[in-house]
Amino acid sequence: MAVTGATDSPVVALPPLTGEDAARSSDRSRVHHARLGGKRWWLIWLLVGPGILAMLGENDGPSMIAYASDGAQYGLGFFVPFIPLLFAMAYVCQEMCMRVGAVTHRGYGELVLQRFGSVWGWFAAADLTLTNLVTLVAEFVSIRVGLAYFHLGPVVAVALGLVLVVFTFSGGRYWRWERIVLGMALFNGLFLVAAILVKPHVGAIVSSFDFSPFPGGSFNTLLLLIASTIGATVTPWMIFFQQGASADKGMTPRDINHGRYDTAVGAVLAAVFGVGALIAGAALLTHNGAGIQGFAGAGYPEALRRVAGGAAGAVFALGLVEAGAVAILTISASTAYAAAECVGVAHSFNTFPREAALFYAANFGVALIAAVVILIPGAPLLSIALNANVLATVLLPVGLVFMVMLANDKGLMGRWANKRSTNVIGISVIAFVGLCGAAYGIDAFLLTTHLIG
């Protein structure tokens, strides 16, 4: 089913046209006119979105807490270059998602289900739902931690998250949804501001790019942090989201280069802001992480306030609220794409809730379930946040294997199928992610069951 070029000639047999088609066509007409008029920057503006959202959405609450934990426990060395390296890996995976979405106009879930059978499709959806539920709990935790700095309670955190989900539904347009979330996602830059406010030693940051000193201490803790840091950059929801959003946006093979810019810009911004969180967390290093006591260890803003002042604490707290809020929107969307694609019903923001009931119900329902969990008193919030990332890392290799298979499928992709070099890098990424996730899982299990000392 290799896809041909744009439809420039009259179509003989007209398929029935829906409201979704009309909305997508309206967006595409602007792209068409920008391209014809040679408006380069306007074209870039129209085509960016899914890549930046996937990358900045992944700079979510648990990710920023994981980066801050890395900084607070190990300082700048190793993790400063490690985070950009991971986002380079994420770029390789996400570029494939974007390309498959642009060429096939279909989401990841439906392609896996239809191409490889319902067993694999439903396994993928189940993996996604499990990791998304845990991750969404961690996103609400992030908002709760951020708001607690301003003396606002968990009910406000829950209400804020859920109201945002409902608010972005209004309009029945993908474009509107995307622009609202994109506008919010840019506030991920607050972590860079927090990093500046802690007044880091620039020389120490530059010298840490040689991956030294390698972190010491407990081997299992190190594995946990490495696995959770990987889970903070590449996760199953990003695969579903970027492919689904690229198709929903109406991207075509002609837009692939712009999709690459979009993904690359997202990766760079996410790496810079992620390193910002790490640097802010590293301000707590000399205190051995002491003071990170609130919310069972997730109280970084308060700890930062004591070490670097109220402004740093407040900015970090606002950053956590933003990171959690944006991720709730993107992760809920990925769940909705997966659920509706696997069932085979409408799955687009270019529809109204009455036309795509399951899509919108899954979107809101998964957020609602996660919201209820965080209202449970005494929940181990830092542990949930870090383990959400680890679980994502462990489950990721299967999703990536299918992504590489789809991107190599000449029947679907035609001349846009993976090149050999992309496959070599992609398979290396899968092996690395699988190895790190399995190493932590097995080591932690053996320690817990006292099979090793």
Pick 88 or 444: Cβ nearer other proteins: 444
Give the separation between CA 319 and CA 212, rounded to whole angstroms: 28
Pick 18 or 422: Cβ nearer other proteins: 18
Residue 6 interacting with other proteins (CB under 8 A):
yes
**68 contacts: CB under 8 Å, gap ≥ 6:** 277, 278, 280, 281, 284, 300, 316
Pick 117 or 153: Cβ nearer other proteins: 117
Residue 409 interacting with other proteins (CB under 8 A):
yes
**291 contacts: CB under 8 Å, gap ≥ 6:** 284, 299, 302, 303, 306, 307
Hey, which residues between 66 and 105 contact other proteins (CB under 8 A)? 104-105
Give the separation between CA 328 and CA 16, rounded to whole angstroms: 34
Residue 412 interacting with other proteins (CB under 8 A):
yes
Residue 37 interacting with other proteins (CB under 8 A):
no
Closest by alpha carbon to 191, among 142, 153, 157? 142
Binds other proteins (CB under 8 A): choice among 212, 218, 257, 383: 383
Long-range contacts of 299-304 (CB under 8 A, 24+ apart): 299/145, 299/148, 300/65, 300/68, 300/72, 300/145, 301/145, 301/146, 301/149, 302/149, 303/72, 304/194, 304/198, 304/280
Binds other proteins (CB under 8 A): choice among 11, 202, 376, 451: 11
Residue 361 interacting with other proteins (CB under 8 A):
no
Residue 416 interacting with other proteins (CB under 8 A):
no
Binds other proteins (CB under 8 A): choice among 284, 390, 407, 429: 390
Place of tokens 């209004």: 170
Give the separation between CA 304 and CA 278, rounded to whole angstroms: 12
Binds other proteins (CB under 8 A): choice among 14, 36, 202, 451: 14
Binds other proteins (CB under 8 A): choice among 61, 146, 250, 297: 250
Binds other proteins (CB under 8 A): choice among 276, 387, 404, 429: 387
Number of residues binding to other proteins, judged by CB under 8 A: 67
Residue 353 interacting with other proteins (CB under 8 A):
no
CA distances from 290 to 79, 201, 282, 293, 305 (A): 20, 21, 12, 7, 13
Residues that bind other proteins (CB under 8 A): 1, 3-7, 10-11, 14-22, 24-26, 28-29, 31-32, 104-106, 110-111, 114-117, 120, 123, 247, 250, 252, 344-347, 351, 355-356, 380, 383, 387, 390-391, 394-395, 397-398, 401, 409, 411-412, 437-438, 440-442, 444-445, 447-448
